[in-house]
Structure 1
């Protein structure tokens, strides 16, 4: 329960603290999947200077202990990227509950990636330049899309996953997370969707930003992940935020977004 509450607190603080989402221009919504009678959407923010050439894209995935949160929590972060020339989208996905688990959440994420690539021209994005953005628990989903892949030959890594990943205080060693293990009971082995345990070959460029005083998702686990990724020939950067815990203060949140934008621009713009 402690891990669950910490995850919810972190998601609320980092994703929604900037203010009410009704102050942000409304995104356009597209249905990327219908499953069990439910339409799942992505919410797209376009660069203000569109129309123009196709742009790199970022797909945001909210955290919240795999079982809480809503896309609106990341609208401000998505707008930050679109204001800087990216096509930004925020994912709506099935949360863990009595029926669903992180397995279903991961499946939705993969379907959304495939939808964005299939509809790249309509969405105004470059299909080979789609980054995934994950925070805390959703960092596990995002990183797994890079390590496990999404079961196709699409994307820079040829595994259907993203073309880059941006992680904030992520769960990369999911086997060590008690809540994740509980949510996976009856749905599969925790190691099968644990980024550290499925990191067996080179993955796409990765940026991890995390407080060095984080007690919820210890930074040492991210160091192990990055060291292993680099050993396999991947680009993996870990930025330690001095004095920050799992909940980042406002200046740290601003530094995170700015650094992430620069990271992608170095590769794609």
Structure 2
């Protein structure tokens, strides 16, 4: 059987789920937030990936797209998928502060959860990618070794200036709920919620993954972020998927899911000082070339 046949057989397979635990990671005066913890299937203290779900900053939850979480746990990573405070009740930077609280909790519970506290990577999808990017670039946490951006709005100022087709989505209405108003009313909030504004020479390595046919979050967001990272000399890679749409990775073993999972795994191996066992030197070398 050829490698090509193996890839198509994989499209029809169903990956095994890893059992997770739901844990409260922060208690605010008006709400408590939880995370789903997928333990590494490799013994010892392992790196930890914090997953931030999408949903236009106003919906969705930590149960979104669990297949990649299980896959990475089998590869030797602890994975936590978090809930966070959402719009319109909560504005930026509330979700970023929630990531900060999650990091605090995971460090406190690191012995029980077998987490290497010097080795976190943030991963977000769509609105969750904007939150993950912003946290990675503004928290200045030395334990954050990288950030993975699945089709996230990286430039909120530019994004508001060029709204999506109204037949697809009221993008301005969606965006206004998160910063707390239109750009005319709160321009400083749009700048403050734009990850691209905070990229500098100290920013963490970044993996960008975006489909060219995305009609919800414009491909231009990723082009702009890629350019800013390059200008600042930040190690990064932009996986461009010409025909992929928004949420192409919802089927993990589909063509887009296979490509993005491969990129995620290679990125994690490159940024992790203590990568999981397994794999081969050729694949690791390939990622270092990409970065």
Q: Do they superpose with TM above 0.5?
A: yes
Q: Identify the residue that residue 235 of structure 1 maps to in structure 2.
A: 235
Which of 118, 136, 153 is 1:171 aligned to? 153
1:84 aligns with 2:72: no
Q: Identify the residue that residue 3 of structure 2 maps to in structure 1.
A: none
Gaps of at least 5 residues in structure 1 are 1-17, 157-161
Give the Cα separation in 2 of the matches to 1:30 and 1:246.
Answer: 30
Which of 62, 74, 85 is 2:65 aligned to? 74
> Over the residues paired in the alignment, what is the CA RMSD in angstroms?
2.5
| Bigger radius of gyration | 2
Residue 53 of structure 1 aligns to a residue in which SS? Answer: coil
TM-score by length of 1: 0.81
TM-aligned CA deviation for residue 182 of structure 1: 4.0
The runs of at least 4 aligned residues of structure 1 exceeding 3 Å deviation read 23-26
Give the Cα separation in 1 of the matches to 2:97 and 2:271.
Answer: 27
Q: Is the 8 A contact 1:135 1:170 kept in 2?
A: yes
Give the Cα separation in 1 of the matches to 2:212 and 2:190.
Answer: 26
Q: Is the 8 A contact 1:174 1:181 kept in 2?
A: no
In structure 2, the CA distance between the partners of 1:244 and 1:163, relative to structure 1 (3 Å rule), is: same
Residue 227 of structure 2 aligns to a residue in which SS? Answer: helix
1:140 aligns with 2:130: yes
TM-aligned CA deviation for residue 258 of structure 1: 2.4
In structure 2, the CA distance between the partners of 1:226 and 1:63, relative to structure 1 (3 Å rule), is: same
1:31 aligns with 2:21: no
TM-aligned CA deviation for residue 85 of structure 1: 0.8
TM-aligned CA deviation for residue 25 of structure 1: 4.1
Q: Is the 8 A contact 2:41 2:77 kept in 1?
A: no
Q: Is the 8 A contact 2:118 2:142 kept in 1?
A: yes
Q: Identify the residue that residue 203 of structure 1 maps to in structure 2.
A: 203
- 1:175-222 CA-to-partner distances (Å, cap 9, x unmatched) read 224232443126861111210122244311100111122232222221
Gaps of at least 5 residues in structure 2 are 1-11, 161-171, 276-291
Question: For this pair of structures, how many residues does the alignment match?
Answer: 240
1:155 aligns with 2:152: no
Which of 165, 175, 180 is 1:185 aligned to? 180
Q: Which moved more, 1:36-45 or 1:176-185?
A: 176-185
Give the Cα separation in 2 of the matches to 1:54 and 1:257.
Answer: 23
TM-aligned CA deviation for residue 233 of structure 1: 2.2
Residue 84 of structure 2 aligns to a residue in which SS? Answer: coil
TM-score by length of 2: 0.75
Q: Which moved more, 1:138-147 or 1:182-191?
A: 182-191
